[in-house]
Structure 1
Amino acid sequence: MPDPSSTAAAHVPSDVSSGPRATIEDVATAARVSVATVSRAMRGLPNVAAATRQRVVDVAQSLNYRPDPAASRLAAGKTKTITVGVPSLNGWYFSTVVAGAEAVCNEAGYEFQVIGVGSHDARDRLLDDRYHLERRTDGLILVDVEPSDEQASALARRGVSLTTIGARIVGCPSVQIDDEHVGRLAADHLIGFGHRDLGVISGLDDDPMNFAVPMARRSGFFGGAAAHGITLGDEHVRNGNFGVDGGRVATAELLDAPRPPTAIFAMSDEMAFGALMELEHRALRPGVDVSIIGVDDHEFARVVKLTTIRQTIAEHGAVAARLLIEAMTVRATDAGVDYVPPAHQPTVELVQRTTTGPAPTS
């Protein structure tokens, strides 16, 4: 989420301070910035505009926000560390999730570390008893890395709390959007403009983690198309490897097909950026000659006027970290008998800009 440049005062409800303790997410919402920006602003770190920093400080004071002392006391035990495991250490999506989680962990007094878990073998090594993860961390957030039920149970027995983003594991808190719904939203939007020839830019050519998100979004898109009498198959899909270059290559392949699409659903904004580059190379107008819709609402999406399905990615990381700390608190106080790990499903929102429009008439 980009830092807004506006210096307009954020709306702060007058009675907030009399209610429950304000969280870092409350401050981020009221100040219209990400949780990571709140964390940087409150700690005086660089790369925060002066106006944004002042707005965050003003909102925090108005909400009577302060770090949670109970969480800080909890961090006084064991390793004082929380770990996040991601399939890739590169890429905007994962870095944004990590920033959100780190802000909450810093607030709670934890050291924070990020590790790459790019294959099943890497996952198994990390979670193996012989790695002694319990000596290195108090809690683990896995982002688009799905452990087995047995691995999750073994972690619990060893005293390591687990929260997942993008997957649901029995007995563990989770944060996961409805990816089939994302696909249906994209299909309904494009078909609503009259498009019948559709293309899809999916995920990875070779996915060692069996990443479930692309298949769920494909299922939703295909199902949404079928509801309108449009049948799609493998020939309508190209893999873009969740990157700009991959998105451009995939778009070229779709447009060179015998019956090219008039509208393309890219499963990430970064792949959609590549699609827009290919349209420009061919002198095709987005939203006129070919419509493009992405997913995420990347900070540059509004710059290129990309229609997208917004998910609040930094907040996913923040929520996951808060759920993890809550689970660790329950374990530390022996209050787990009645504890039901929450499955948090954030909402998504279609954001229409200019890269989608009516199907060409000729």
Structure 2
Amino acid sequence: MPRSKTIYDVATLAGVSISTVSLALNAPTRVSTETRRKVLEAVDALGFVPKPEAVARARRGVGRVGVIAPYTSYPSVARRLNGILHAGSQHEQEIVLFDQESAAQTTSPLLSSLPITGRLDGLIVVSLPLDEAAARRLTDLRLPTVLIDTHYSGFDSVSTSDSTGGRLVAEHLVARGHHRFSFLGETQQSLLYVSPAQQRLAGYRAALSEAGYPLSENNVRFTAHGIGPAFEAARHLLSIEQHPTAIFASSDTLAAGALKAAHDLGLAVPGGVAIVGFDDGELAEALNLTTVRQPLEESGRAAMERLLQQLDQPGTVREVALGLELILRGTS
């Protein structure tokens, strides 16, 4: 049976004295940030188990925050991450990234398997919905957590009103004189939660109905994330005889696919069909795409600031709401 690791092993691996290890764990302000980091890395590597309160004190000195997000799949999420990283660097936070392939699932598999006990001070979950099991695990671990672009009772969150974004688009297209409308969103793997795309559709549909233009289910399409799948879905919509004259896509990526389909069919944009996206990233600017601008970097910064507040003074749950803006360009 292997022997348990001791403070002597930690000191040897970290290249410091035993007294320095003790100071780093019990009086972290009395050692440098770099020394604390070395000691904690040695603690993690060896699986050394000091008193929990000692690790907590030391980790507060280092500041290790986990971020779970589908940032390699969605440009908008990558921009939120930029805001998190910027805010974290200003407060000497170490950011540990965990990539989730898709936001279209009920919850992130990472949340049920991530070895977060004792290794993170806090967690930011970006554009990934929680289910009951994941929420319970985070609560049981007493891990301070902030959600971005999603909500769950009892958790801090930073978000925008997706339904308001849908309303902005509908009101704009109605004002432009359109009468035949459609919606293009990302297919979900589960309907156990209400996704941002569904909320955008709900706001869009409600505003159209109030204006006297009920949205037909035949003109609502859900497809996989990506320009290619969106191209196929939009091409089908635009190939019928009485095709929609306006398409609202729930992301700029899907809107790019719709724009490609319109060009492929020889439809003028916006004369033959108007197209509006959501996010306002570099893609929208490059395509001269009308879109709904989200405060993406700002949401990342706000989430990090809120998490730091939680770490310093745990207290009341807060939901931070940020505004949206319709950006008018050449596709509508």
| TM-score category of the 2 structures, normalised to the smaller one | 0.7 to 0.9
Shift of 1:173: 1.5
Is the alpha carbon distance of 1:212 and 1:156 closer, same or farther for their aligned partners in structure 2, counting shifts above 3 Å? Answer: same
Q: Is the 8 A contact 1:198 1:261 kept in 2?
A: yes
Shift of 1:210: 4.4
Distance across 2 between alignment mates of 1:225 and 1:102: 39
1:126 to 97, 108, 111: 111
Q: Is the 8 A contact 1:152 1:162 kept in 2?
A: no
Instruction: Report what 1:349 is aligned to.
Output: 325
1:283 to 266, 283, 287: 266
Q: Is the 8 A contact 1:75 1:110 kept in 2?
A: no
Q: Is the 8 A contact 1:138 1:159 kept in 2?
A: no
What does 1:293-304 correspond to in 2, within 5 Å?
Answer: 293-304=276-287
Aligned partner of residue 302 in structure 1, secondary structure: helix
The residue type paired with residue 319 of structure 1 is A
Q: Is residue 2:129 matched to residue 1:146?
A: yes
Is the alpha carbon distance of 1:211 and 1:84 closer, same or farther for their aligned partners in structure 2, counting shifts above 3 Å? Answer: farther
Instruction: Report what 1:359 is aligned to.
Output: none
Instruction: Report what 2:305 is aligned to.
Output: 322
Distance across 1 between alignment mates of 2:322 and 2:195: 17
1:244 to 224, 227, 252: 227
Which residues of structure 1 form unaligned runs of 5+?
1-73, 332-338, 357-362
The residue type paired with residue 86 of structure 2 is A
Distance across 2 between alignment mates of 1:75 and 1:82: 14
TM-score normalised by structure 2 residue count: 0.75
Instruction: Report what 2:254 is aligned to.
Output: 271
Identity of aligned residues (%): 26
Alignment root-mean-square deviation, CA: 2.5
1:168 to 147, 151, 169: 151
Distance across 2 between alignment mates of 1:258 and 1:282: 12
TM-score normalised by structure 1 residue count: 0.69
Shift of 1:222: 0.8
Q: Is the 8 A contact 1:294 1:309 kept in 2?
A: yes
Which residues of structure 2 form unaligned runs of 5+?
1-56
Q: Is the 8 A contact 2:238 2:262 kept in 1?
A: no
**Deviations 1:228-282, CA, capped at 9 Å, x for gaps:** 1112132111124332222211210110234210111111111111111122222
Shift of 1:77: 2.4
* Structure with larger Rg: 2
Instruction: Report what 2:242 is aligned to.
Output: 259
The residue type paired with residue 328 of structure 2 is Q
Q: Is residue 2:72 matched to residue 1:89?
A: yes
Q: Is the 8 A contact 2:107 2:131 kept in 1?
A: no
The residue type paired with residue 340 of structure 1 is T
Count of aligned residue pairs for this structure pair: 274
Distance across 2 between alignment mates of 1:181 and 1:353: 20
Q: Is the 8 A contact 1:79 1:135 kept in 2?
A: no
Q: Is the 8 A contact 2:107 2:134 kept in 1?
A: no
